[in-house]
Amino acid sequence: MAVARAYLDHASTSPLRAAAYAAMRPYLESSFGDPGRLHAEGRATRTALETAREQVASFFGARPREVVFTSSGTEAVNTAVAGALARAGSRTGSGDGHVVTTAVEHSCVRDAVKRGTTDVTVVGVDRFGRFDARAVVEAVRDDTTLVSVQLANHEVGTAQPVAEVCSALRDRRALVHVDACAAAGHMGVDFTALGADLCSVTAHKLGGPLGAGALLVRRGLRVPPLLVGGAQERARRGGIENVPAWVGFGAACAVVDLAGETASQRALVERASAVVDRVDGVERFGDRSLPNVLCVGVRGVEAEPILLALDQHGVAVHSGSACSSETLEPSPVLEAMGVDAERSLRISVGWSSTTADVERFVDVFPGIVERLRGLRAV
């Protein structure tokens, strides 16, 4: 009989919640109408879509009309960055503008900014991966178009002083975009309270379906759409709506028990962090703000053989960030922090994680590290 695996990579993606699956099924099996049509089939899917919009808006402290559904958090980020730059260009006649961002942003932010403009100021971070809000604000110039900062770091779990940035820039010309994809479902995200102009969120890290995200756009703000060719999403995103995925996103948001789940996740991560004291040469990175993430560095052993050995023992973890690891390059986040960027493991829990999952990791990790170090010594 196969032993159940211990899945500890929720920061990459989480299993689909039962409530989300149940909500999606009718729109995969029988309710297929185009929500932009006036017939009964179209009206039915339109009603479901707007209910999902209300659920997502409620969970993230936004108004329903501020929610623009996307195919992912990555699309939401690209829409925010490209839209802010295009909006500024349409006013000034230029094709780009100055952007302020930080050294620990997700690759989708870094790449979207790089593609949009060459005039970028990158603000550094401390050893915990935290940027200084004052340094971000001081980097803003009169011609700054966009400030893009994360709410919490996706690799080491450090929460960022985003509210301070938003407050300081409220009366400035630059738009403020917050990447809240890593934080969504694991710490409170209140779009209205943050005071940001734009905010990117995603479904699959909180138990919603893959292929669903949203860009929250401050009421009254118009940014040019990334995808054109249709008037869907109130002319803010062209293309027929992915009703099943977006309904699943809304249903997942509606059942998240944020207080209960984050308390459980924090306890599980603290249990997993026992390996820091149990195994010599293991260091914890980050400031412990995000309750579901534990990032550790392991001295003297490459991350990949540890990851593969854990997998053989039925434990799934990750090394590096969710999108940069496939390139086999050192983590830009850890490099910016000034720590070893090539020997890190990220252990992350989520809504379905159990004590047994974490206990298996804690049980097998020390022996794996000892064996691999022994092989290097031969």
Beta-carbon contacts of 121 under 8 Å, excluding residues fewer than 6 positions away, are 98, 99, 100, 101, 139
Q: Which fold has domain 258-377?
A: Aspartate Aminotransferase, domain 1 (3.90.1150)
Range list of H helices, the chain: 18-29, 40-59, 73-92, 107-116, 133-139, 162-168, 191-194, 232-235, 243-255, 258-272, 274-278, 303-312, 332-337, 355-377
Closest by CA position to 178, among listed 196, 205, 190, 156: 196
pLDDT above 70: residue 83: yes
Predicted pLDDT at 104 = 97
Rounded distance between C-alpha atoms, residue 29 and residue 183, angstroms: 32
Rounded distance between C-alpha atoms, residue 299 and residue 342, angstroms: 10
Rounded distance between C-alpha atoms, residue 99 and residue 114, angstroms: 10
Closest by CA position to 146, among listed 134, 154, 156, 136: 136
pLDDT above 90: residue 84: yes
Q: What Cα–Cα distance (Å) separates residue 57 from each residue in 52, 96, 165? A: 8, 31, 23
Rounded distance between C-alpha atoms, residue 146 and residue 83, angstroms: 10
* Average pLDDT for 22-49: 96
Closest by CA position to 80, among listed 231, 174, 241, 215: 215
Query: Is 253 a catalytic site residue?
Result: no
Predicted pLDDT at 40 = 95
Measured in residues, the chain has a length of 378
Beta-carbon contacts of 30 under 8 Å, excluding residues fewer than 6 positions away, are none
Q: Where exactly are the structural domains of the chain?
A: 18-255, 258-377
pLDDT above 60: residue 321: no
Q: Are 169 and 140 in contact (CB under 8 A)?
A: yes
pTM reported for the whole predicted model:
0.94
Predicted pLDDT at 91 = 56
Antiparallel, parallel or unpaired: β 6-7 and 144-150: unpaired
**11: helix, strand or coil:** coil
Rounded distance between C-alpha atoms, residue 50 and residue 62, angstroms: 14
Predicted pLDDT at 110 = 96
State the DSSP string of 261-281.
HHHHHHHHHHHHTHHHHHSTT
Rounded distance between C-alpha atoms, residue 324 and residue 326, angstroms: 6
Range with the lowest mean pLDDT among 41-45, 212-216, 325-329?
Answer: 325-329
Q: What Cα–Cα distance (Å) separates residue 54 from each residue in 40, 91, 106, 259, 297? A: 21, 33, 28, 21, 41
Q: Are 272 and 347 in contact (CB under 8 A)?
A: yes
Q: What Cα–Cα distance (Å) separates residue 52 from each residue in 39, 137, 200, 212, 308? A: 20, 35, 17, 11, 39
Rounded distance between C-alpha atoms, residue 148 and residue 102, angstroms: 8
Q: Which fold has domain 18-255?
A: Aspartate Aminotransferase; domain 2 (3.40.640)
Question: What is the residue type of 320?
Answer: G
**114: helix, strand or coil:** helix
Q: What are the tens digits of pLDDT across the range 56-74?
A: 999 999 999 999 999 999 9
Q: Which of 108, 199, 295, 323 is catalytic?
A: 323
Q: Would 18-255 and 258-377 be classified into the same CATH topology?
A: no
Q: What are the tens digits of pLDDT across the range 360-369?
A: 999 999 999 9
Q: Predicted confidence band at 153 (pLDDT cuts at 50, 70, 90)?
A: very high
